[in-house]
Amino acid sequence: MKMKRLFQNENAVSPIVATLILVVVAIAGAAAVGTIMGSFSSDVSDEASAEDAAAGASTQLVVAGSTSVTPLAESLKSGFEESNSGIQINIQDNGGDTAGVAAVGMDVIDIGLLSRELTSSEKEKYPDLETHWIGSSAVVIIGGEDVVTKFDSSNFSELTTDDLYNMYNDSSDGSTSAKNLTDASGTSISTVNVYKRSETRSGSEYIFSKFIAEGDGDFISGTKAVEVTGDREMLETIADDPDGLGFVDFRFALEAYEEGIDVNFIGVYDGGDCRLMKGCVEDIEHMNVHIQKSLNGGTVPASVSPYPDPYPMGLLNNMYMVTNGWPSSVESRFINFAQQPASMDLYTDAGYFSLLDVTEQP
């Protein structure tokens, strides 16, 4: 019997989940999985204590994983439940990519959320996992106000992947992690504080790390950069640190912009076709065009930007729903809903790119 099936006995949820948490942590050492299960236990216990529990959804899908994909899953949940009244989607907004993969691989949850590819070790540990592509997004590099000012006031015309690698590789120990960056004329740009994610193999960090470290997705996690949790905390931290530099999923940058939070994008040259020089991506509209053109394999119109090259392919990422084996009929209904053209407006509303927006899969 799969562990997640035990959750259907709502009257006995709390002791069962408590036991499972101990077993999972003892066997797998996955503390984040325990967090997901603990949160789920609380949610279900609340439902079970309600007077109308018996009248609730007849079937429940438990979904958890990537913090970058969770907002999209929430948007899809609202549309799906409107047309599928007999199915409830329970989304846990904690854990991260790696915890979501582990949880679905151990049958703790039904569907995992992933904003990167499965790693070779994950495929080896959970050989039955199936990934289902539902859309795409991008990782954007952001900086504090003083970082942008330093770049713009110097002869520093564009940041390269080598520059970013060195900034993280040379980060010092202590409360801040700093690297003195030198512009093209040899003039010091002064201190830049670099940040990383606290979660194991966060999708955004994994993509960014591969981009600056020649395919090594674990490079940044091994540096002494300052840790933050989740895209939202990364964005808020950079907004509060004039000398900060980090990375977030584009969707979170878009959300911050709509909330009136200043978002400073850092242009980067990837050594190939894309030369996002300073001034190229100074606002969210231009960034959106560059990303979508990359996903479509096109160039940016001159009417939008004087820089025709699209966004660096290495910073684009796919979003997946993950199941342990071929999805059940109920799981398939939710996955198919996420992929169908009728759901595409939900992607736009949530700040993501649907399958209709993508002609070239990253």
Q: Are 75 and 124 within one domain?
A: yes
Residues 6+ apart with CB under 8 A from 288: 250, 254
Asked whether the predicted pLDDT for residue 33 surpasses 90, the reply is no
pLDDT for the residue 190: 64
Q: Are 265 and 307 within one domain?
A: yes
Q: Report d(CA 163, CA 138) in Å as an integer.
A: 20
Asked whether the predicted pLDDT for residue 152 surpasses 80, the reply is no
Q: Are 197 and 61 within one domain?
A: no
Q: Is residue 96 part of a domain?
A: yes
- What mean pLDDT do residues 76-86 have? 92
Q: Is residue 335 part of a domain?
A: yes
* H-helix or E-strand spanning residue 242: none
Alpha-carbon Rg for the chain, nearest whole angstrom, is 21
Domain that holds residue 31: 3-136+319-357
Q: What are phi and psi of 148, to 5 degrees?
A: -65, -40
Q: Is residue 362 part of a domain?
A: no
Burial of 70 (0-12, 13-18, 19+ CB in 10 A): buried
Q: Are 341 and 300 within one domain?
A: no
Q: Are 268 and 299 within one domain?
A: yes
| Cβ(113)–Cβ(226) below 8 Å | no
Asked whether the predicted pLDDT for residue 332 surpasses 90, the reply is yes
DSSP-based helix, strand, coil % in the chain, nearest 5: 45, 20, 35
- Specify the residue for token string 């949610």: 43
Confidence of residue 180 (pLDDT cuts 50, 70, 90): low
pLDDT above 90: percentage of residues in the chain: 37
* Best CA proximity match to 327, nearest among 37, 8, 104, 65: 104
Q: Is residue 15 part of a domain?
A: yes
- What mean pLDDT do residues 303-332 have? 85
pLDDT for the residue 271: 57
Q: Is residue 115 part of a domain?
A: yes
Q: Are 332 and 308 within one domain?
A: no
Q: Are 352 and 295 within one domain?
A: no
Q: Are 90 and 162 within one domain?
A: no
Q: Are 57 and 112 within one domain?
A: yes
Q: Is residue 342 part of a domain?
A: yes
Query: Is the model more confident about 305 or about 325?
Result: 325
Asked whether the predicted pLDDT for residue 5 surpasses 60, the reply is no
Q: Are 45 and 185 within one domain?
A: no
- What mean pLDDT do residues 225-235 have? 92
Confidence of residue 47 (pLDDT cuts 50, 70, 90): very low
Asked whether the predicted pLDDT for residue 41 surpasses 50, the reply is no
pLDDT for the residue 100: 93
Burial of 170 (0-12, 13-18, 19+ CB in 10 A): middle
Q: Are 263 and 304 within one domain?
A: yes
Give the HSE-up count for residue 245: Cα atoms under 13 Å, Cβ half-sphere. 28
Asked whether the predicted pLDDT for residue 308 surpasses 80, the reply is no
CA 134: distance to chain centroid? 14
Q: DSSP assignment, residue 3? A: G
- Residues 12-26 pLDDT 10s: 333 344 334 434 433
Residues 6+ apart with CB under 8 A from 29: none
Asked whether the predicted pLDDT for residue 59 surpasses 70, the reply is yes
Q: How many domains does the chain divide into?
A: 2
Q: Is residue 70 part of a domain?
A: yes
* H-helix or E-strand spanning residue 352: none
- What mean pLDDT do residues 291-298 have? 79
Of 46-60, 89-103, 138-152, 266-280, the range with the lowest mean pLDDT is 46-60
pLDDT for the residue 312: 82
CATH of the domain at 27: 3.40.190.10
Q: What are phi and psi of 130, to 5 degrees?
A: -120, 130
Sign of the CA dihedral with 11 first, then 13, 18, and 20 last? positive
Average pLDDT of the chain?
A: 76
Q: Are 100 and 38 within one domain?
A: yes
Confidence of residue 187 (pLDDT cuts 50, 70, 90): low
Question: How does strand 129-143 pair with strand 244-249?
Answer: antiparallel
* Best CA proximity match to 25, nearest among 121, 102, 133: 102
Q: Is residue 176 part of a domain?
A: yes
Asked whether the predicted pLDDT for residue 269 surpasses 90, the reply is no
Q: Report d(CA 17, CA 2) in Å as an integer.
A: 13
pLDDT for the residue 200: 86
